[in-house]
Amino acid sequence: MVHNQVWDVKSVDETSIVLTYLSKDGEMGYPGNLSVEVTYQLSADNEVQIDYKATTDESTPVNLTNHAFFNLKGEGNGTINDHLLTINADKFTAVDSTLIPLGKNVSVEGTPFDFRKAKTIGADLPLQDENEQLKNGLGYDHNFALNKTEGGEMSWAVTVVEPESGRKMGIFTEEPSIQFYGGNFMSGADTGKYGKAFDFREAFALETQHFPDSSNQPEFPSIILNPGETYSITSIYRFSTTEFHDKFN
């Protein structure tokens, strides 16, 4: 996987870095020489913008994302279940007991997966023993199909608030979906930048992406990149302690 590789630094300045990687034909079983470029850029508005680009010389599946872990209290500073989460999605992707998508997006209405209005991450986790999808994911580890008015437009996806400090993170993306992982498999074995361990549900991930397992799910949009095409997509993570505004609407 490309996240386990050493990338080349194409350019760097005070506010941005551009990384490149060539995934050679046959690596991890994927066809084609895939040239990938990722740009991380900090803005004056406390935003981290991530631009992904890729080209290939053979048809190959591509679905790039960012798997950073977050705790708005600070690294290793306790549970994330009290964070307030809002996800702009009417549907989520159901999975089987091995977390493989079942090939359909189902309504969040009346389920623990309804985050259309802000609620704490842990509000419905007590239902894990009776809700099949929470049971399959050992909590939240699911893809959400974002509400989009047009395909590919930049739009608001998620807001997360840590209520005690007032810290907020907003996510905007051109992607059609986002994977929400609630730290269900964390055991203290992993440590962060400052050496603090991540214990059970002490960090979350929100990964903007195309629908997972699309190559095996005929009802999902294709993630095949062909020669002559350019994979190009952008996501933005915005941080603040002030009133949240959706500047794209």
Quick check: 196 pLDDT over 50? yes
- Supply the pTM of this predicted model: 0.92
**What is the rounded average pLDDT of the residues 143-169?**
92
Of 61, 81, 34, the C-alpha closest to 203 is 81
Out of 3, 58, 67, 245, pick the active-site residue: 67
pLDDT in tens, 170-188: 999 999 999 999 999 998 8
- Residue 109 known to be catalytic: no
Lowest mean pLDDT among 63-67, 74-78, 243-247: 243-247
Quick check: 72 pLDDT over 80? yes
- Residue 37 known to be catalytic: no
Residue 33: C-alpha distances to residues 56, 57, 187, 223, 230 (Å): 6, 6, 37, 16, 13
Out of 174, 175, 207, 210, pick the active-site residue: 207
Question: What is the average pLDDT value for the chain, to the nearest integer?
Answer: 93
pLDDT in tens, 74-133: 988 899 999 999 999 999 999 999 999 998 999 999 999 999 999 999 999 999 999 999
Question: In a 3-state reduction of DSSP, which class is residue 41?
Answer: strand
**What is the secondary structure of 166-214 as a DSSP string?**
TEEEEEEESSSEEEEE--TT--S--B-TTS-B--TTS-BEEEEESPTTG
Region 2-240: CATH code: 2.70.98.10
* Cβ-based neighbours of 200, under 8 Å, separated by 6 or more: 183, 184, 186, 187, 188
Model confidence band, residue 189 (pLDDT cutoffs 50, 70, 90): confident
Q: What angle do CA 117, 235, 243 make, to 5 degrees?
A: 45
**What is the rounded average pLDDT of the residues 17-44?**
96
Buried b (16+ CB within 10 A) or exposed e, 160-195: bbbeeeebbbbbbbbbbbbbbbbbbebeeeeeeeee
User: Looking at residue 152, what is its pLDDT?
Assistant: 75
User: Looking at residue 248, what is its pLDDT?
Assistant: 43
**What is the rounded average pLDDT of the residues 57-81?**
94
Question: In a 3-state reduction of DSSP, which class is residue 245?
Answer: coil
Quick check: 245 pLDDT over 80? no
**What is the rounded average pLDDT of the residues 213-235?**
95
Quick check: 165 pLDDT over 80? yes
